[in-house]
Structure 1
Amino acid sequence: MRRAWLIVGLLFPVALLNYLDRQMLATMQKSMVDDIPTITNEESWGNVLAAFKWTYAFLSPIGGFIADRFSRRRVIGFSLVAWSAVTALTSLVTTMDQLIWARAAMGISEAFYIPAALALITDFHTGSTRSFAVGVHQSGIYAGQMLGGLAGFVADADGYGWQWMFSTCGVVGIIYAVPLIAMLKNPPPNPAAVPVASPFASLHELLWNRNFLLLVAYFTLPAIAGWVIRDWGPKILRDQFSLDQGKAGMMAVFTVQVASLLGALLGGLLADRLMRKTMRGRIFASALGMILFLPALVGVGHAPSIAIAIASLAVFGLGWGFFDCNNMPILSQITRPEVRATGYGLMNMVSMIFGGLGDKGYGLLRDRGVPIDYIFGAFALVCVVSLGVVLLIRPKPAA
């Protein structure tokens, strides 16, 4: 158990850097657009955001399969070094095309991390701590997003700027990779494990699993709204309430991520406790998070004041934490350990494709004057469908 929690502790900073490097792009948008004149409208910025998501999406199943077939430890270390180098090089971009290529390279390098990391955690946490352990790891993600929320202040500060932020974060990631690779361990071999099949056999096994297909849909649908809030939230507050870049970024990002961190820890504890009473305990805990999404999304779209907008974002973040900490544990109840990272990679692929479409579509709709309340009302209806989907999943005993 000490080794199991050491794994979570070592991966916490990696998760933090993973999402810090993603989130700071959104909060430094104004500074980057001012310095890169070829970004001419919101649809163009949506293309920048989508470039990361779509490359990340298509590489995620490959990253998952490699983590299932080879050393999870090495996959994690390679991914950290690669995306940190790309982050540092992003400080040198001067055109929209260069930025798009940089974000695409970021997507490629980061695609290998999450499936391997969550699979490694569930390899070690096989009992009553699984959801909470995943929740602690996910809290590193939220901490990274919170730090990313401060990036707007750094971008505005004399002597720093968005270039400094990218280069510094990249160097920190490369340095941390050294102790990470030295201390991270794979689990002991399981003599009863079934050998990892070919990519096509693994894909066939997953796609013929009814519960897995339901989980893919459940994982994807609410993530569309989640990505729009994460990537466009600072700009939504800036436009709706005439805030400056730094304040809008801090309020949008900190509110959601503090609440998400709390939700991941509470949701993990609740799910592990419910599992003592029913095999659907993690499903019920996750469904509770989905219920919280509904008033939150309506509130973001219809907020007449900054206070209501912030309260709605907080409720959304709390629900997201309940949802996020239980996806991998639910996957662990419906698939074999030998295809677990591949399965999460496939989930990531579908979710990120639709997340990219959501980012691009939101920018396109706003350029054409579609009101925010219409867009977020549609997101709430999607979450109603998601709630029905997750309750259809019939899990097996956790492995």
Structure 2
Amino acid sequence: MNEQGAKPWYPWLLVGLLWLVAFLNYLDRILITTMRDPIVSEFSLTDAQFGLLTSVFLWSYGVFSPLGGYLADKYSRRNVIIFSVAVWSAATAWTGYVSSFEELVAARIVMGMSEAFYIPAGLALITDYHRGRTRSLATGIHFSGLYAGLALGGIGGYIAELWGWRYGFHVFGFFGCLYAVVLLFTLRDHKEVTAPDVPAHKAATVGFMDAVKTLVGERSYRVLLFYFVVLGIANWLIYAWLPTFLREQFSLGLGEAGISATLYPQIGSFIGVLLGGIWADRWFKANRKSRIWVMVIGFTVGAPFLMLMSWTSLFLLAIVALFFFGMARGFSDANLMPVVRQVVDGRYAATAYGVLNFLSTIAGGLMVYAGGALKDADVDLSVIYIVAACLLLVATWSLMLVNVKKGDPR
């Protein structure tokens, strides 16, 4: 047993269990972006309407993220995770049965609401069990599941070509429902989930608005909010429209464009979260701001590669650029939640990430819809991507204003 009463191997088993949850989380949400043509054809949609399918997901996801985080802080991270997996998997299966655009929108809203509960609770539970020298690596390994889901989401184009676009939603939705049952018997809450020297029962007395006021009262947390909002805008503009950009820019087929848009940047991200996690954890011994610096270095190098991808007419060079941009995102994802735990009171850890998700995804959803509208107005996607890269650089450099708390790195 370790000092929290868990068996020594359980923290890493937990990461493995939640890795598959993370995989399903992003696979289910991204499938629709790689099935654009058959869905647009069946329901006679404009580009703006197709963009709206991702936007409503992000808006509902964002609105419910703070609530999901707060419930995970106040009650049980385990129960919030299981609830989230079960409901979003059912919504995924439902997507395969919709008969109208309006019903498709409704299914995406339910999926967004239910998926919102997972990430704050999952990251908080992992960082409850992993502290100090393993925190960034454990977070990074978990995020590699998200990247795997994004990467394999590209098979949606091939599934649509071979068996029809509905088939993938049926298979992955029903599998997720079964996996929720597995989690019911394997997940355990950490015995101590609050700040140092704060008894667990006192966390339950903290109200939602009090928690939010405490969070936004921290200047460093406000900087993290700005950074994550810009990151959400850039990421969703990039990934929601990347299959379309690659297909039009390099004359690719539906399946090839889908797999290229998801596989190559996610391979980079997969490597990035592992390298970024290990690097930040080791550097942490000498510099308590190591995790912030790894994030800053990542996008300072990675954002220009997004510009290169937008400019080039060579497909191979675009793939290389996407790989390095993906690495930069991996550096960020491995370290953001560990930085949050260094900035905010541990009692509000999941709520803090939920609020970040709220503003980030609301802004991202607006920009995905705006991207579709701009495309309808004949604005080139490459121009949009260059603007996104410039915004990323500004937001990343603002992280140098973040101050971390002294003492325990929780």
- TM-score under structure 2 normalisation? 0.94
Instruction: Report the Cα offset of residue 190 of structure 1.
Output: 6.4
Q: Which of 41, 56, 67 lines up with 1:51 in the alignment?
A: 56
Instruction: Report the Cα offset of residue 193 of structure 1.
Output: 2.2
Q: Which of 75, 94, 97 lines up with 1:92 in the alignment?
A: 97
Structure 1 range deviating more: 330-339 or 291-300? 291-300
Instruction: Report the Cα offset of residue 297 of structure 1.
Output: 1.8
Q: Which of 328, 332, 335 lines up with 1:319 in the alignment?
A: 328
Structure-2 separation of matches of 1:190 and 1:266: 27
Residues 336-359 of structure 1 show CA distances to partners (whole Å, capped at 9, x for unaligned) of: 221000000000001101110110
Structure-2 separation of matches of 1:373 and 1:252: 14
Structure-1 separation of matches of 2:19 and 2:303: 30
Matches within 5 A, 1:86-165: 86-157=91-162, 160-165=163-168
Residues 195-245 of structure 1 show CA distances to partners (whole Å, capped at 9, x for unaligned) of: 221011101110101111101111121221211221111111111111110
Report SS of the residue matched to 2:97: coil
Q: Which amino acid aligns with 1:383?
A: L
Q: Which amino acid aligns with 1:372?
A: L
Q: Which amino acid aligns with 1:50?
A: S
Q: Which of 355, 362, 367 lines up with 1:358 in the alignment?
A: 367
**8 Å Cα contact 2:250/2:313 also seen in 1:** no
Structure-2 separation of matches of 1:202 and 1:15: 26
Q: Is 2:294 the partner of 1:285?
A: yes
Residues 153-209 of structure 1 show CA distances to partners (whole Å, capped at 9, x for unaligned) of: 01100xx21111101101100111112110111111469325221011101110101
Q: Is 2:169 the partner of 1:166?
A: yes
What is the alpha-carbon root mean square deviation over aligned residues? Answer: 1.2
**2:254 matched residue in structure 1:** 245
Q: Which of 178, 181, 189 lines up with 2:181 in the alignment?
A: 178
Matches within 5 A, 1:261-276: 261-276=270-285
Residues 128 and 18 of structure 1, relative CA distance in 2, 3 Å threshold? same
Residues 116 and 178 of structure 1, relative CA distance in 2, 3 Å threshold? same
Q: Which of 333, 341, 346 lines up with 1:337 in the alignment?
A: 346
Residues 109-165 of structure 1 show CA distances to partners (whole Å, capped at 9, x for unaligned) of: 1010000000000000012000000000000011111111111101100xx211111
**2:316 matched residue in structure 1:** 307
**8 Å Cα contact 1:227/1:359 also seen in 2:** yes
Q: Which amino acid aligns with 2:287?
A: T
Q: Which amino acid aligns with 1:7?
A: L
**8 Å Cα contact 2:22/2:143 also seen in 1:** yes
Residues 190 and 392 of structure 1, relative CA distance in 2, 3 Å threshold? closer
Residues 255-313 of structure 1 show CA distances to partners (whole Å, capped at 9, x for unaligned) of: 11111111011110111011011110000111111113321221122121211221111
**8 Å Cα contact 1:293/1:383 also seen in 2:** no
- TM-score under structure 1 normalisation? 0.97
Report SS of the residue matched to 2:132: coil
Structure-2 separation of matches of 1:254 and 1:130: 26
**1:21 matched residue in structure 2:** 28
Residues 275 and 183 of structure 1, relative CA distance in 2, 3 Å threshold? same
Structure 1 range deviating more: 239-248 or 224-233? 224-233
Residues 3-32 of structure 1 show CA distances to partners (whole Å, capped at 9, x for unaligned) of: 111110111110000011011111111121
**Runs (5+) with no aligned partner, structure 2:** 1-7
Q: Which amino acid aligns with 2:171?
A: T
**2:208 matched residue in structure 1:** 199
Identity of aligned residues (%): 39
**8 Å Cα contact 1:234/1:249 also seen in 2:** yes
Structure-2 separation of matches of 1:120 and 1:241: 43
**8 Å Cα contact 2:68/2:117 also seen in 1:** yes
Structure-1 separation of matches of 2:285 and 2:12: 21
Q: Which of 277, 297, 305 lines up with 1:296 in the alignment?
A: 305
Structure-2 separation of matches of 1:189 and 1:322: 28
**8 Å Cα contact 1:219/1:327 also seen in 2:** no
Q: Is 2:383 the partner of 1:381?
A: no
Q: Which amino acid aligns with 1:26?
A: T
Structure-2 separation of matches of 1:293 and 1:100: 34
Report SS of the residue matched to 2:401: coil
Q: Which amino acid aligns with 1:262?
A: I
Q: Which amino acid aligns with 2:371?
A: Y
**1:61 matched residue in structure 2:** 66
